[in-house]
Homo-oligomer: A and B are copies of this chain.
């Protein structure tokens, strides 16, 4: 099995998207105890991010909406793959920071990262 895993991973091609960004756009009813990213404005932030990434000319990047990423209490959140880095984006300025520091800059927007621990 270990050999199978190793061979499989070794044979995987280059990423189809260098940065595939999923913004949680799940909406729960107002007053739900877990809250939801859409109730905290994620849909508009996703639209903003999609437009800004295009304007910035980030190559091979795609911004998608996604269903519930199960980090509701920490949202509005997004995850960037294949890196697997999670961010909380509350404002347009947060989105700009992720684009500038992570997508364009190649680093990490440290101040906005979600903690790595699984709940």
| A residues whose Cβ falls under 8 Å from a Cβ of B | 1, 4-5, 7-9, 11-16, 20, 22, 60, 62, 64-71, 79, 81-86, 105-108, 116, 118
List 20 A-B residue pairs with CB atoms under 8 Å apart, sorted by A's residue number: A1-B105, A4-B105, A4-B106, A4-B107, A7-B107, A8-B106, A8-B107, A11-B108, A12-B83, A13-B116, A16-B71, A16-B116, A20-B81, A20-B84, A60-B118, A62-B69, A65-B67, A81-B82, A82-B82, A82-B84
- Quick check: B67 and A12 within 8 Å, CB to CB? no
B11, B15, B64, B116: the one within 8 Å of A66 (CB): B64
User: How far apart sit A12 and B8, CA to CA, in the bound complex (Å)?
Assistant: 22
Q: Could you say which residues of chain B place their CB within 8 Å of the CB of A116?
A: 13-14, 16
Q: Could you say which residues of chain B place their CB within 8 Å of the CB of A5?
A: 106-107
Q: How many copies of this chain does the complex contain?
A: 2
- Quick check: A62 and B66 within 8 Å, CB to CB? no
User: How far apart sit A14 and B84, CA to CA, in the bound complex (Å)?
Assistant: 8
Q: How far is the CB of A27 from chain B (nearest CB, A)?
A: 13
- Quick check: A22 and B66 within 8 Å, CB to CB? yes
- Quick check: B69 and A64 within 8 Å, CB to CB? yes
